[in-house]
Structure 1
């Protein structure tokens, strides 16, 4: 068959393999996620032998099992700093030894009252990471409690135990949880910021590429002077503003219809529009220099980033943390929306805002410099 002799036909299965491979790369990220070295703060507000026992258990937990990295990595902090540290996304959780803990353990059976270890959970940082850290801390407290329970039972020997004592002897140490930067209801279990950031990237990608094709047709018809090129670029940037506004407020409107618990319709729509415009400038800059292959490049970036941006970095392979995660623009839009949703931020979201603005500024400069891009002229051979 003639079709089998066509090179373009053979490109189809190769393209399918490449696309499937790109989609399947996320299996390495989400196929069997394991949390390692999740940063957790240790806050000690008491002293004594029983406090030292908690510290020893923490130290042992930090060493991992069978040479593997531990689930959590502890760092000692002061309680008055923890809110700021959580807001700066330094920790997923904190284990707090409260004042009076040593005496509470010492007199647990006598007072018929269990001692308490507190767990602070920074949900807004990343709900998956926070839940893993919380589970690890609950397991640690359960382990410590079981050790004391065994000791208390041995001390009781054949003494009679009444019902009020029994519960304390079985669980002499109990956890008390406090949530910071809570993930509010109806926000897709904390995934709403990423889900609402993705359309900003997709809208910028599609809109930027369509405008590139439109301006390419114009330049093919006639060669433009530098002044005319600047006018065309100005028109393209103006269209970019329109596309960005449509992207941002369409996302906010659909989110509102879907029942997403947004802190502010206008704030979310404005931030997504801002991110979409900066991404549009990036897309326009790259397409202006390398042309149609840019769409493939940006699609690859999006496909590689789908799994990476949803997971905490402590749960993805080192390769993706080092070589993929830093180059995913959607991540910064998601981080900004996370600040707005869960950390009470306004339009300016700090580092994420600065990075998005930097992407837009660099994109604008590179785009304007494309005026000086060498133009290839078709040569006409005369026979």
Structure 2
């Protein structure tokens, strides 16, 4: 058959293999995530042998199993600093040994009251990471409690106890949880920031590419001077503003219709617009220099990025942490919206805002520098 002799036809199966391979890379990020070194704050407000027992259990937990990295890593902090540390996303959770804990354990059977270890959960940081930290810390408290329970039962022997003592005997140590930066209801279980950030990238990509095709057709029809080219590029930037505003307000409106609990409609709309405009400048810059292949490049970035957007970096393979995660622009929009949704931020979201702005400025400069590309000249027919 003639088709099988065409070299271009054989590009199709090769392209399919490459595309499937790119999609499948996310299987390595999502297929069997293993938690490594999830940062946890340890707040110690008491001292004594029973406090030392908790620290010993933490030390054993921090060693890992079979030479592997531990699931949790603990760092000592002060309780007065924990809200700020949580706001800075330094920790997913904190284990607190409160004042009076040592005496509470010592006198549990006589006071008929279980001793309490507190667990603080930084839910807004990342729901997956915070839930894992919560489960692991509750497991640690249960382990400590079971050790005391076994010892107490051995000491009591056949001694009669009342119902209140029986409850303490089974659970001599219990946990008390407190949530910080809570994930509000109707925000897709904490996924709303990412779900709203992705359209900002897609809108910038599609809008930038369409405007690029429109300007390309102008360049083909007539030869422009650099001054005319600069004027045309100014039009592209203006179109970017329009596209960004359409993107931001469309996303916010659809989110409102879908029942997403947004802290502020206009705040979300303008932040998504800001991110979309900066991404548009980046797309315009790269397409101005390398043309249509840039779209493939940006699609690859998006495909690779989808596997890392909602997963804590402590649950990702090192390859994704070092070579994929730092280069995914959507992540910064997602983190900015997370600050707005769960950390009470305004339009300026700190590091994420600065990074997005940096992307936009770099994109604009690279875009403007494309004016120095060689000007196409028409060849006269002989």
* TM over 0.5, shorter chain: yes
The alpha-carbon deviation at position 161 of structure 1 amounts to 1.7
Q: Which whole-Å CA distance do the structure 2 matches of 1:309 and 1:167 have between them?
A: 44
Q: Is the 8 A contact 1:71 1:133 kept in 2?
A: no
Aligned to 1:214: 214
- Quick one: distance in 2 between partners of 1:377 and 1:313? 50
2:226 matched residue in structure 1: 226
Tell me by how many angstroms 1:65 deviates.
Answer: 1.4
How far has the Cα of 1:54 moved from its partner? 0.5
CA distance in 2, matches of 1:167, 1:21: 56
Question: Which whole-Å deviations, capped at 9, do the CAs of 1:264-314 have from their partners, x for residues lacking one?
Answer: 000000000000000000000000000000000000000000011110000
Q: How far apart, CA to CA, are the structure 1 residues paired with 2:378 and 2:325?
A: 41
Structure 1 position 369 matched with structure 2 position 361: no
Secondary structure of the residue aligned to 2:113 is coil
The alpha-carbon deviation at position 195 of structure 1 amounts to 0.6
- Residue of structure 2 equivalent to 1:345: 345
Pairwise mapping of residues 273-284 of structure 1 onto structure 2 (< 5 A)? Answer: 273-284=273-284
What is the distance in 1 between the residues matched to 2:262 and 2:325?
Answer: 26
Which residue in the other structure is 2:19 paired with? 19
Note the C-alpha offset of 1:375.
3.6
1:325 and 2:335 aligned = no
Confirm or deny that 1:95 pairs with 2:95: yes
Question: 61-70 or 175-184: which moved more?
Answer: 61-70
d(CA) in 2 for partners of 1:229 and 1:376? Answer: 12
**Deviation digits for residues 204-224 of structure 1, max 9, x if unmatched?**
000000000000000111111
8 Å CA contact retained: 2:112, 2:165: yes
Q: Unaligned 5+ residue runs, structure 2?
A: none
Contact 2:308 2:320 in 1 (8 A): yes
Q: Residue in 1 aligned with 2:46?
A: 46
CA–CA distance in structure 1, aligned partners of residues 44 and 373 of structure 2: 62
2:118 equivalent in structure 1? 118
TM-score, normalised to structure 2, is 0.99
CA distance in structure 2 between the aligned counterparts of 1:81 and 1:268, rounded to whole angstroms: 29
Q: How does 1:80-229 map onto structure 2 within 5 Å?
A: 80-229=80-229
3-state DSSP class of the match of 2:138? helix
Q: 2:66 maps to which residue?
A: 66
Q: Distance in 2 between matches of 1:333 and 1:124?
A: 15
Deviation at 1:162, TM superposition (A): 1.5
Q: Distance in 2 between matches of 1:380 and 1:38?
A: 67
Give the aligned partner of residue 334 of structure 2. Answer: 334
Q: Report the aligned-residue RMSD.
A: 1.0
Q: CA deviation at 1:227?
A: 1.0
| TM-score normalized with structure 1 length | 0.98
